[in-house]
Amino acid sequence: MKKIIATDKAPAAIGPYSQAIEVNGTVYTSGVIPVNPQTGEIPEGTVAQAKQALTNLTNLLQAAGTGMDKVVKTTVFIKDMNDFAAINEVYASFFTADFPARSCVEVARLPKDVMLEIEAIAEK
């Protein structure tokens, strides 16, 4: 059975999609961008945006009853591959052991012109 996951501690969906879905004990998140869910503001700079996006992802997973330590796969979309090292450093502070599988791709543009977007698949 499919369960819709929603929280006000991560940016609200800005289209016809759910923040996350749980099916058979697995949580699939939509792409999470670095918008502060309380203020709607987007931090300046790649590092600050990476921290905000990963904080939002953490909050979304917690709302689903899981956590970053249960993530098995992420996909990271970045606007500029030159920011890979900076984003990777922030990413490593959120995933400290037993790293999930990951894909990272450069894209031409992201919602609200942010620098990155991240989605995850996690077990409960």
Q: How, if at all, do strands 20-23 and 26-29 pair?
A: antiparallel
DSSP, res 32: B
Q: Which of 48, 104, 110, 121 is catalytic?
A: 104
Q: Which amino acid is at 25?
A: G
Q: Is 104 a catalytic residue?
A: yes
**Residue 64 φ then ψ, to 5°:** -85, 0
* Cβ–Cβ < 8 Å for 76, 48: no
84 CB-contact burial (10 Å; exposed 0-12 / middle 13-18 / buried 19+): middle
The residues, ordered by sequence, that sit 6+ positions from 69 with a Cβ below 8 Å of its Cβ are 97, 98
Catalytic center residues: 104
